């Protein structure tokens, strides 16, 4: 009886979480333009998507921002997490205080505060401001992920490597880097997803000359639903799905 209740509650919630996404994906293949009635399977909206230069530009812009910002955040965050957790660093509490407060602070506040910073500093909103903002909100995720991995180590592994003849350089590249690599890759993938999906912060820091996909979708949906957006959202969802599942696999593997 109780078991039955549990199963049905869990199924209902999953149906709620996945139902709309499923409908979205199915309808991206629907021939019909205006009605919800099924008029046959087709790739029409995918082909028309790839002929829509505006959307493609925004997509490429988004990919560039996501790629560069996630890469930068991963490099910086990995170094930071490594330095803070490996060498006993006096200010580590302050450091992690900052990291967690950035992680928790509401997107809207980060958005408007960066907007004011860029306006007052006279920086033209566009690619660079977007990049800066995205690095800022990705950085804490990378730091937390990599730090978690490093603190799971047996510290004497480094002693062992030195004992067997490894110099500082060998220790980093042959021992530490390969050991934290899964977490670094996961941090990179998740940063990429975060950056690709962000609406609120980007909304305040981008300029008219540099359109990115989520904002483009936002303005299109405000004007009305078009089947191309179905196709676009399906592609974006599948991209996220692939990135998250890979990242999850990478993080989980360490627990063996």
Partner 1 sequence: MAVVRLQNISKSFDRQMVINNLCLDIVKGEFLTLLGPSGCGKTTVLRLIAGLETCDSGTILINGRDQTRMPACDRDVNTVFQSYALFPHMNVFDNIAFGLKLKKIAGTRIRDRVKEALELVKLEGLETRPIHQLSGGQQQRVAIARAIVNRPLILLLDEPLSALDYKLRKQMRLDLRHLHRKLGITFVFVTHDQEEALTLSDRVVVMHNGCIQQTGTPKDIYETPVNLFVADFVGESNIFDAQVTRTLDKDMEIQIQGITKMVQNRRNFTKGQTVKILLRPEDMTVERTRHQCPPGFLPGQVKEMIYKGTTVDLLIRLDSGHDIFATEFFNEDDQDIFYDVNERVCVSWIKGWEVTLPHE
Partner 2 sequence: MNERQGFKFFAVFINMAWFALFVLVPGLMVVGISFLTRDMGSFFAWPPTLVHYKELVDPVYAKVLGNSLVYSLNTTLLCLGIGYPFAWFLSRAPAYRRPLLLMMVIIPFWTSSLIRTYALVILLKANGIINAVLMGSGIVSEPVSMLYTDVAVYVGLVYSLLPFMILPLYAVLEKMDLRLVEAARDLGANGLQVFVHVVLPLSLPGIMAGCIMVFLPAMGLFYIPDLLGGAKTMLVGNFIKNQFLTTSNWPFGSAASVFLLLLMVLMLGIYFLLSNRFNRNQTL
Q: Which residues within the stretch 152-191 sit at the binding site for partner 2 (CB under 8 A)? A: 168, 190
Among 199, 207, 211, 254, binds partner 2 (CB under 8 A): 199
Contact between 55 and partner 2 by CB under 8 A: the answer reads: no
| Cα 248 from Cα 256, distance rounded (Å) | 14
What is the nearest approach in angstroms of partner 1 to the Cβ of residue 169? 11
240 within 8 A of 191, measured Cβ to Cβ:
no
Binding-site partner at residue 179 among partner 2, partner 1, none, CB < 5 to 8 Å by type: partner 1
3-state per-residue secondary structure call for 201-228: HHHHHCCCCCCCHHHHHHHHHHHCCCHH
Residue 70 structure tokens? 């996630």
| Cα 224 from Cα 116, distance rounded (Å) | 31
Mark the segment that binds partner 2 (CB under 8 A) among 7-15, 46-54, 158-166, 176-184.
7-15
215 within 8 A of 199, measured Cβ to Cβ:
yes
Residue 23 or 56: the one with the smaller Cβ distance to partner 2 is: 23
135-194 residues in contact with partner 1 (CB under 8 A) are 154, 156-157, 159-167, 170, 174-175, 178-179
Contact between 75 and partner 1 by CB under 8 A: the answer reads: no
CA distances (Å), origin 121, targets 8, 111, 114, 115, 132: 55, 15, 10, 10, 14
Binding-site partner at residue 51 among partner 1, partner 2, none, CB < 5 to 8 Å by type: none
Residue 40, by phi and psi: left (phi above 0), alpha (psi -120 to 50) or beta? left
Among 3, 88, 222, 256, binds partner 1 (CB under 8 A): 256
Binding-site partner at residue 175 among partner 1, partner 2, none, CB < 5 to 8 Å by type: partner 1
| Cα 194 from Cα 243, distance rounded (Å) | 10
Binding site for partner 1 (CB under 8 A): 154, 156-157, 159-167, 170, 174-175, 178-179, 256
């Amino acid at each position: 009886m109780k078991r039955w209740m549990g199963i049905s509650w869990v199924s209902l919630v999953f149906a709620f979480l996945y139902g709309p996404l499923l409908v979205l994906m199915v309808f991206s293949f629907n021939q019909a333009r205006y009605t919800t009635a099924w008029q046959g399977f087709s790739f029409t909206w995918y082909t028309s998507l790839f002929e829509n230069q505006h959307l493609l530009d925004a997509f490429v812009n988004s990919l560039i921002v996501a790629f560069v910002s996630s890469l930068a955040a991963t490099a910086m965050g990995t170094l930071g997490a490594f330095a803070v957790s490996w060498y006993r660093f006096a200010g580590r509490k302050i450091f992690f205080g900052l990291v967690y407060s950035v992680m928790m602070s509401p997107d809207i506040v980060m958005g408007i505060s960066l907007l004011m910073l860029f306006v007052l500093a006279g920086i033209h909103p566009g690619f660079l401001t977007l990049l800066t903002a995205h690095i800022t909100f990705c950085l804490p995720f990378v730091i937390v992920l990599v730090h978690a991995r490093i603190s799971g180590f047996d510290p004497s592994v480094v002693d062992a490597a030195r004992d067997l003849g490894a110099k500082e350089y060998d220790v980093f590249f042959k021992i530490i880097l390969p050991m934290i690599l899964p977490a670094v890759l996961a941090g990179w993938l998740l940063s990429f997803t975060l950056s690709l999906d962000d609406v609120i912060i980007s909304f305040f820091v981008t300029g008219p000359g540099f359109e990115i996909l989520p904002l483009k979708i936002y303005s299109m949906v405000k004007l009305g639903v078009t089947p191309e957006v179905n196709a676009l959202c399906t592609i974006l969802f599948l991209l996220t799905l692939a990135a998250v599942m890979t990242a999850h696999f990478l993080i989980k593997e360490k627990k063996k």
